[in-house]
Structure 1
Amino acid sequence: MFESPNDLIILLVVIAVLFFGSSKIPELFRSLGRAMGEFKKGRMEAEMEMQQMMLSQEQKKGENIEELEKRIAELQKQLEELKQTKKA
């Protein structure tokens, strides 16, 4: 029935004219455009928030690794001190 996307668009425009009248069509498409813009904006904000969350998780992992490395260094120092006290 619909061989191309243009056929579907034409059908939708005809239906819109029948239901809303020709004077309401610009308002309808304007509000549709605004809704699409808001949807895109919301999607972009959600993607940015997800990226920030992932970045903060990676930073926390990096901080944990740094903390562990510091703790290991401290333990190695303590071990060396114990070895030296045993020798003395």
Structure 2
Amino acid sequence: MIGSIWDWIVVIAVVLILFGGTSKIPELFRALGRAVGEFKKGQMEVERELRQMVTEAQSPTPPTQLSPQPTGQTASNTAVNQPANGQPNKNNEVEELRRQVEELKRELERLRNQGQAN
């Protein structure tokens, strides 16, 4: 019956021509190309931001540059989370990076859905 990918492509093309007409095919492929382009652009942006976060996490920077101190948190609270050498606690950094990765994944999914809607 229909086994290869080319058979499916031919069947889909025939259905598109029958129901959509030949004028709709370029519009369909144009929209598909835009969606793929938006997906790749979002993927590249996420990868760039992840590389930047990893680079920032590996570079020796003062803790105040890694993340702003939440409102209401005192200096004595931050001293508890830091070892004696002044470096931020690695577990806190890892958790912050995980949170940022989850935010980026949600943003990527939102962009994918937005691209599919257009």
TM-score bin, normalised by smaller chain: 0.5 to 0.7
Letter matched to residue 3 of structure 1? G
TM-score between both structures, scaled by the size of structure 2: 0.48
1:36 is displaced (CA, Å) by 0.6
Deviation track 1:20-79 (CA, whole Å, cap 9, x = no partner) reads: 2111111111111111111111111111111111111111xx347xxx4xxxxxxxxxxx
Letter of the 2:26 counterpart: P
- Aligned positions of 1:19-34 closer than 5 A: 19-34=19-34
Q: Are 1:45 and 2:36 counterparts?
A: no
Structure 1 unaligned residues grouped into runs of 5+: 69-88
Structure 1 or 2: more helix by fraction: 1
Alignment of 1:1-88 (within 5 A): 1-59=1-59, 62-63=60-61, 68=85
> For the structure 1 residues 2 and 53, does the alpha-carbon distance in structure 2 shift closer, same or farther, using more than 3 Å as the test?
farther
Per the normalisation by structure 1, the TM-score is: 0.62
Whole-angstrom distance in 1 between the partners of 2:14 and 2:32? 17
Structure 2: gaps of 5 or more residues? 63-84, 86-118
In structure 2, do the counterparts of structure 1 residues 51 and 2 end up closer, same or farther at CA, with 3 Å as the change threshold? Answer: farther
How far apart, CA to CA, are the structure 2 residues paired with 1:17 and 1:23? 9
Q: Alpha-carbon deviation of 1:2?
A: 3.1
Q: How many residues align?
A: 65
Larger Rg: 1
Deviation, 1:3, is 1.9
Q: Which has the higher contact order (CA 8 A, sep 6+)?
A: 2
- Displacement over 3 Å in runs of 4+: none
Q: What do you get for the CA RMSD once the two structures are aligned?
A: 2.2
